[in-house]
Structure 1
Amino acid sequence: MADTTVITFGTFDVFHVGHVRVLNRAAEFGDRLLVGVSSDQLNLAKKGRRPVFTQDERMEILTNIKVVDGVFLEESLELKRQYVEEHQADILVMGDDWAGKFDFLNDICKVVYLPRTPSVSTTAIIEHITTIA
C-alpha cells in the first residue's frame, strides 16, 4: 500500500500555536506532510506587507517541525495544481478561510479545509506587539 502524501500551504510568519495545530491536524491525514511556504514576494502581493521573517527563515523553522517531512517555496497561488502534481500529493489541506477556493483540484487529490484556531493570527500578534512596543 502506497504512503499518503498530504500537502499544505501558508506563510507561517511569526510562528504560533495556530500554525502548530494546523500542521499537526494536516499530518494526521497521511503518512507524509509537505509544506509550501509562501515566498516573500507572494506574501507582499497577497497581504500587502512583507513577512517579519524571510522566506528562508520561515522554511528553516518549518523544516525543524517534527510532523513536517518536506518544505518547498510557493511562488504563485496560480501554481497550486502544478505543486500538487509535482509532489504527488493525495490530499490538500488548507485553512477554512480558503473554503471552496481549491475545490477545482478534487480531480487530482482530496481537498480538506480545516477550521482555524480561534483568536490566533499572525496579523493580530503583530498588531499587539506594535501596541506594546
Structure 2
Amino acid sequence: MTARIGYAPGAYDLFHVGHLNILRHAREHCDHLVAGVVSDEMLERTKGRRPVVPLEERMEIVRHVRYVDQVHAETVPDKLDTWRELRFDVFFKGDDWRGTAKGRDLERRFAEVGVEVVYFPYTMHTSSTALRRALALLEGASEPLAAAR
C-alpha cells in the first residue's frame, strides 16, 4: 500500500492556533504531510501585502511542527503546478473556501487529476489578520510599549 500524501498550503505568517489546527487535522488524514509555505512574493501578489515574518523564518517554524513531514516553498500561483511537482493525493484548505467560486474551481481541477480536497474549520477567533491589527495598534501605542519592541 502506498502512503497517502497530503498538502496543506498557507502563509503561516504570525503562526497561531488556527495554523496548528489545520496541520494537526491534515496529519490525521494522510501518512505524509507536506506544508506549503507561500513565498513572500506570492503573498504580495495574491493578498497585496508582504508577510510580517519572512519566508525562511516561516518555513523554519512550520518545519518544527511535529505534524509536518516536509516543508515546501510555494512560489507559483497555480496549485496544479505545485501538484505536478509534489504529486500529493489530498489537498487541505480552510472551510472559508468551501462553496466559493475559487473553491469549486479548485475541487474541479484537482478531481481531474485524482486529488481529493478536504476542508477543515476556519479558526474564527484567531487569525493573522486579527494579529496584524493588534500589532498595528501597538505601533501607535505610548512610548513604553513602542520601546519594548
Q: Tell me how far 1:35 sits from its aligned partner.
A: 1.1
| Runs of at least 5 residues in structure 1 that lack an aligned partner in the other structure | none
CA RMSD in angstroms comes to 1.2
Secondary structure of 1:9's counterpart equals strand
Q: Tell me how far 1:113 sits from its aligned partner.
A: 1.7
Q: TM-score, normalised by structure 1?
A: 0.93
Q: Tell me how far 1:62 sits from its aligned partner.
A: 0.7
Deviations 1:83-132 (A, max 9, x none): 22321211011112222241111122111122201221101111012213
Match of 1:116 among 114, 122, 129: 122
| Runs of at least 5 residues in structure 2 that lack an aligned partner in the other structure | 140-149
Report if the CA contact (8 A) 2:76-2:82 is conserved: no
Q: Counterpart in 1 of 2:5?
A: 5
| 1:96-115 alignment, distance < 5 Å | 96-99=95-98, 100=103, 101-103=105-107, 104-108=109-113, 109-115=115-121
Give the distance between the partners of 2:81 and 2:132, measured in 1 at CA: 32
Instruction: Give the total of aligned pairs.
Output: 132
Larger Rg: 2
- Code of the aligned partner of 2:77: L
Deviations 1:10-42 (A, max 9, x none): 100000000000100011111110011110001
